[in-house]
Amino acid sequence: MSTDTILTVQGIDVFYGASKILFGVDLEIGRGRTLALLGRNGAGKSTTLKAIAGIAKPRKGSVRLGATELAGARPDVIARAGIGYVPEDRQVFPMHSVEDNLLIGAKRGPDGQDAWTLEKVYEAFPILAQMKERRAGLMSGGEQQMLTIARTLMGNPEVLLLDEPSEGLAPIIVQSIAALIRTLRAMGVTIVLAEQNMHFCLGISEDAAVIDKGHIVYRDTIKGLRANEAVTKRYLAL
Protein backbone atom coordinates (compact mmCIF):
# COMPACT_ATOMS: atom_id res chain seq x y z
CA MET A 1 0.00 0.00 0.00
CA SER A 2 1.17 3.47 -0.83
CA THR A 3 2.36 5.49 2.15
CA ASP A 4 0.56 8.47 0.68
CA THR A 5 -2.92 7.52 1.83
CA ILE A 6 -5.54 10.04 0.84
CA LEU A 7 -8.74 8.43 2.14
CA THR A 8 -8.96 6.32 5.29
CA VAL A 9 -12.13 4.56 6.38
CA GLN A 10 -11.84 3.05 9.85
CA GLY A 11 -14.27 0.83 11.68
CA ILE A 12 -17.49 2.22 10.26
CA ASP A 13 -20.83 0.74 11.27
CA VAL A 14 -23.94 1.72 9.32
CA PHE A 15 -27.54 0.87 10.15
CA TYR A 16 -30.69 1.21 8.08
CA GLY A 17 -33.30 1.51 10.81
CA ALA A 18 -32.67 -1.40 13.16
CA SER A 19 -30.71 -3.43 10.57
CA LYS A 20 -26.97 -3.34 10.84
CA ILE A 21 -25.55 -3.22 7.32
CA LEU A 22 -21.83 -2.41 7.74
CA PHE A 23 -19.69 -3.97 10.44
CA GLY A 24 -16.47 -2.11 11.16
CA VAL A 25 -15.54 -1.45 7.52
CA ASP A 26 -11.90 -0.41 6.99
CA LEU A 27 -10.46 0.86 3.70
CA GLU A 28 -7.35 2.79 2.71
CA ILE A 29 -6.92 4.44 -0.65
CA GLY A 30 -3.57 5.72 -1.85
CA ARG A 31 -3.39 9.01 -3.72
CA GLY A 32 -3.71 8.47 -7.45
CA ARG A 33 -4.65 4.83 -7.05
CA THR A 34 -7.79 2.96 -8.01
CA LEU A 35 -9.40 0.63 -5.48
CA ALA A 36 -12.03 -1.85 -6.62
CA LEU A 37 -14.57 -2.58 -3.90
CA LEU A 38 -15.96 -5.93 -4.95
CA GLY A 39 -18.76 -8.07 -3.61
CA ARG A 40 -22.01 -9.73 -4.51
CA ASN A 41 -25.31 -7.96 -4.83
CA GLY A 42 -26.38 -6.85 -1.34
CA ALA A 43 -22.88 -7.15 0.14
CA GLY A 44 -22.71 -3.48 1.19
CA LYS A 45 -20.76 -1.80 -1.64
CA SER A 46 -23.24 1.02 -2.22
CA THR A 47 -23.74 1.55 1.51
CA THR A 48 -19.96 1.91 1.93
CA LEU A 49 -19.79 4.59 -0.76
CA LYS A 50 -22.87 6.31 0.69
CA ALA A 51 -21.23 6.31 4.11
CA ILE A 52 -18.11 7.98 2.68
CA ALA A 53 -20.25 10.52 0.80
CA GLY A 54 -22.38 11.26 3.88
CA ILE A 55 -25.65 9.95 2.41
CA ALA A 56 -25.68 7.14 4.99
CA LYS A 57 -24.45 8.22 8.42
CA PRO A 58 -21.93 5.94 10.09
CA ARG A 59 -22.96 5.28 13.69
CA LYS A 60 -19.35 4.47 14.57
CA GLY A 61 -15.96 4.90 13.00
CA SER A 62 -14.01 7.41 11.00
CA VAL A 63 -13.79 8.63 7.40
CA ARG A 64 -10.77 10.85 6.85
CA LEU A 65 -9.78 12.69 3.72
CA GLY A 66 -6.18 13.61 4.37
CA ALA A 67 -6.36 14.84 7.96
CA THR A 68 -9.99 16.00 7.77
CA GLU A 69 -12.59 13.95 9.62
CA LEU A 70 -15.75 13.63 7.53
CA ALA A 71 -17.80 10.97 9.33
CA GLY A 72 -21.17 12.43 10.24
CA ALA A 73 -20.78 15.57 8.11
CA ARG A 74 -23.50 16.59 5.65
CA PRO A 75 -23.18 15.38 2.04
CA ASP A 76 -22.67 18.91 0.71
CA VAL A 77 -19.89 19.53 3.23
CA ILE A 78 -18.25 16.24 2.25
CA ALA A 79 -18.55 17.11 -1.45
CA ARG A 80 -16.89 20.48 -0.83
CA ALA A 81 -14.16 18.77 1.18
CA GLY A 82 -13.22 16.90 -2.00
CA ILE A 83 -15.26 13.70 -2.28
CA GLY A 84 -16.95 13.33 -5.68
CA TYR A 85 -19.72 10.74 -5.58
CA VAL A 86 -21.37 9.19 -8.64
CA PRO A 87 -24.37 7.16 -7.43
CA GLU A 88 -25.59 4.07 -9.25
CA ASP A 89 -28.72 5.78 -10.58
CA ARG A 90 -27.14 8.25 -12.99
CA GLN A 91 -28.85 11.49 -12.17
CA VAL A 92 -28.77 13.97 -15.01
CA PHE A 93 -30.96 17.03 -15.37
CA PRO A 94 -32.94 15.66 -18.32
CA MET A 95 -34.37 18.93 -19.63
CA HIS A 96 -31.00 20.68 -19.58
CA SER A 97 -28.24 20.54 -22.14
CA VAL A 98 -25.13 18.45 -21.64
CA GLU A 99 -23.11 21.63 -21.17
CA ASP A 100 -25.52 23.02 -18.56
CA ASN A 101 -25.35 19.69 -16.72
CA LEU A 102 -21.58 20.05 -16.63
CA LEU A 103 -21.70 23.68 -15.50
CA ILE A 104 -24.07 22.78 -12.65
CA GLY A 105 -21.27 20.63 -11.21
CA ALA A 106 -18.51 23.22 -11.60
CA LYS A 107 -16.66 24.26 -8.48
CA ARG A 108 -13.11 24.58 -7.28
CA GLY A 109 -11.55 21.77 -5.26
CA PRO A 110 -10.97 22.04 -1.51
CA ASP A 111 -7.59 23.73 -2.06
CA GLY A 112 -8.78 25.87 -4.93
CA GLN A 113 -8.00 23.25 -7.57
CA ASP A 114 -9.46 24.07 -10.96
CA ALA A 115 -7.79 21.45 -13.16
CA TRP A 116 -11.17 20.21 -14.43
CA THR A 117 -12.67 22.86 -16.65
CA LEU A 118 -15.17 22.48 -19.49
CA GLU A 119 -12.24 22.33 -21.94
CA LYS A 120 -10.46 19.63 -19.99
CA VAL A 121 -13.64 17.60 -19.60
CA TYR A 122 -14.37 17.83 -23.32
CA GLU A 123 -10.84 16.66 -24.00
CA ALA A 124 -11.23 13.62 -21.72
CA PHE A 125 -14.81 12.96 -22.89
CA PRO A 126 -14.87 13.85 -26.62
CA ILE A 127 -18.33 12.32 -26.97
CA LEU A 128 -19.72 14.96 -24.61
CA ALA A 129 -18.10 17.73 -26.65
CA GLN A 130 -19.97 16.46 -29.70
CA MET A 131 -23.24 16.47 -27.75
CA LYS A 132 -22.91 19.62 -25.72
CA GLU A 133 -26.15 21.16 -27.00
CA ARG A 134 -28.17 17.97 -26.58
CA ARG A 135 -30.78 17.61 -23.85
CA ALA A 136 -29.35 15.18 -21.31
CA GLY A 137 -32.63 13.25 -21.12
CA LEU A 138 -32.21 12.26 -24.77
CA MET A 139 -28.83 10.59 -24.24
CA SER A 140 -28.31 6.83 -23.98
CA GLY A 141 -27.64 5.18 -20.63
CA GLY A 142 -23.90 4.99 -21.32
CA GLU A 143 -23.73 8.63 -22.37
CA GLN A 144 -25.62 9.65 -19.22
CA GLN A 145 -23.15 7.62 -17.17
CA MET A 146 -20.28 9.53 -18.78
CA LEU A 147 -22.07 12.81 -18.17
CA THR A 148 -22.55 12.09 -14.46
CA ILE A 149 -18.87 11.16 -14.10
CA ALA A 150 -17.83 14.28 -16.03
CA ARG A 151 -20.14 16.52 -13.99
CA THR A 152 -18.63 15.15 -10.79
CA LEU A 153 -15.11 15.85 -12.09
CA MET A 154 -16.20 19.45 -12.79
CA GLY A 155 -16.29 19.75 -8.98
CA ASN A 156 -12.52 19.06 -8.88
CA PRO A 157 -12.74 16.27 -6.30
CA GLU A 158 -9.71 14.71 -4.63
CA VAL A 159 -11.36 11.29 -4.66
CA LEU A 160 -13.96 9.99 -7.10
CA LEU A 161 -16.43 7.34 -5.86
CA LEU A 162 -18.05 5.37 -8.71
CA ASP A 163 -20.93 3.04 -7.90
CA GLU A 164 -21.21 0.26 -10.51
CA PRO A 165 -20.65 2.48 -13.53
CA SER A 166 -20.99 -0.49 -15.89
CA GLU A 167 -24.30 -1.72 -14.52
CA GLY A 168 -27.05 -2.21 -17.07
CA LEU A 169 -24.97 -1.06 -20.03
CA ALA A 170 -24.36 -2.95 -23.26
CA PRO A 171 -20.94 -4.68 -23.48
CA ILE A 172 -19.57 -2.24 -26.03
CA ILE A 173 -20.55 0.71 -23.84
CA VAL A 174 -19.04 -1.04 -20.82
CA GLN A 175 -15.76 -1.14 -22.74
CA SER A 176 -15.85 2.56 -23.38
CA ILE A 177 -16.60 3.26 -19.69
CA ALA A 178 -13.61 1.06 -18.80
CA ALA A 179 -11.42 3.00 -21.24
CA LEU A 180 -12.64 6.25 -19.73
CA ILE A 181 -11.79 5.12 -16.18
CA ARG A 182 -8.32 4.11 -17.39
CA THR A 183 -7.88 7.57 -18.87
CA LEU A 184 -8.90 9.19 -15.59
CA ARG A 185 -6.48 6.95 -13.73
CA ALA A 186 -3.68 7.94 -16.09
CA MET A 187 -4.55 11.56 -15.33
CA GLY A 188 -3.90 10.84 -11.64
CA VAL A 189 -7.49 10.78 -10.38
CA THR A 190 -7.96 8.73 -7.19
CA ILE A 191 -10.90 6.37 -7.66
CA VAL A 192 -12.95 3.99 -5.55
CA LEU A 193 -14.86 1.71 -7.89
CA ALA A 194 -17.70 -0.39 -6.45
CA GLU A 195 -18.32 -3.35 -8.74
CA GLN A 196 -19.80 -6.84 -8.77
CA ASN A 197 -17.75 -7.80 -11.78
CA MET A 198 -14.08 -8.48 -11.08
CA HIS A 199 -13.34 -8.86 -14.79
CA PHE A 200 -14.45 -5.29 -15.41
CA CYS A 201 -11.93 -4.15 -12.78
CA LEU A 202 -8.92 -6.06 -14.17
CA GLY A 203 -6.81 -3.60 -16.08
CA ILE A 204 -8.63 -0.70 -14.41
CA SER A 205 -7.77 -0.86 -10.72
CA GLU A 206 -4.56 -1.81 -8.91
CA ASP A 207 -6.03 -2.50 -5.49
CA ALA A 208 -8.97 -4.63 -4.45
CA ALA A 209 -11.08 -5.06 -1.34
CA VAL A 210 -13.84 -7.63 -1.05
CA ILE A 211 -16.93 -6.97 1.04
CA ASP A 212 -19.35 -9.66 2.13
CA LYS A 213 -22.39 -9.22 4.39
CA GLY A 214 -21.08 -5.84 5.48
CA HIS A 215 -17.59 -7.06 6.42
CA ILE A 216 -14.35 -6.46 4.52
CA VAL A 217 -13.14 -10.03 4.09
CA TYR A 218 -10.12 -9.63 1.82
CA ARG A 219 -7.61 -7.00 0.82
CA ASP A 220 -4.99 -7.34 -1.95
CA THR A 221 -3.97 -6.12 -5.35
CA ILE A 222 -6.51 -6.93 -8.06
CA LYS A 223 -3.99 -9.38 -9.53
CA GLY A 224 -3.60 -11.11 -6.19
CA LEU A 225 -7.35 -11.36 -5.90
CA ARG A 226 -7.71 -12.78 -9.38
CA ALA A 227 -5.17 -15.48 -8.58
CA ASN A 228 -6.96 -16.41 -5.37
CA GLU A 229 -9.63 -18.80 -6.51
CA ALA A 230 -10.77 -19.69 -3.00
CA VAL A 231 -11.69 -16.05 -2.35
CA THR A 232 -13.21 -15.29 -5.75
CA LYS A 233 -15.34 -18.46 -5.60
CA ARG A 234 -16.48 -17.83 -2.09
CA TYR A 235 -17.27 -14.13 -2.26
CA LEU A 236 -17.78 -13.09 -5.87
CA ALA A 237 -20.39 -14.04 -8.42
CA LEU A 238 -18.32 -15.07 -11.41
Report the C-alpha gap between 129 and 113 in whole angstroms: 22
The one segment of 16-24, 25-33, 94-102, 138-146 that binds ligand ADP by CB under 6 A: 16-24
Smallest separation (angstroms) from ligand ADP to the CB of 14: 9
The mark string for 113-152 relative to Mg ion (x by CB under 5 A, - otherwise) is ----------------------------------------
Select the binding partner of residue 155 from ligand ADP, Mg ion, none (C-beta < 5 to 8 A, by kind): none
Q: Which of residues 39-98 bind ligand ADP (CB under 6 A)?
A: 39, 41-47
Long-range own/partner contacts, residues 57-61 (CB < 8 A, 24 or more apart): 57/14, 58/12, 58/13, 58/14, 58/22, 59/13, 59/14, 59/15, 60/11, 60/12, 60/13, 60/24, 61/9, 61/10, 61/11, 61/12, 61/13, 61/24, 61/25
Cβ proximity of 93 and 56 under 8 Å: no
Select the binding partner of residue 82 from ligand ADP, Mg ion, none (C-beta < 5 to 8 A, by kind): none
Residue 210 sits in the site that holds ligand ADP (CB under 6 A): no
Task: Mark out the alpha helices in the chain (DSSP H runs).
Answer: 45-53, 75-81, 98-104, 118-124, 126-130, 141-153, 171-186, 198-201, 222-227, 229-235
Residue 190 sits in the site that holds Mg ion (CB under 5 A): no
Cβ proximity of 199 and 184 under 8 Å: no
Residue 225 sits in the site that holds ligand ADP (CB under 6 A): no
The one segment of 15-23, 167-175, 200-208, 216-224 that binds ligand ADP by CB under 6 A: 15-23
Select the binding partner of residue 39 from ligand ADP, Mg ion, none (C-beta < 5 to 8 A, by kind): ligand ADP
Can you give the binding site for Mg ion, defined by CB under 5 A? 45-46
Can you give the binding site for ligand ADP, defined by CB under 6 A? 16, 19, 21, 39, 41-47
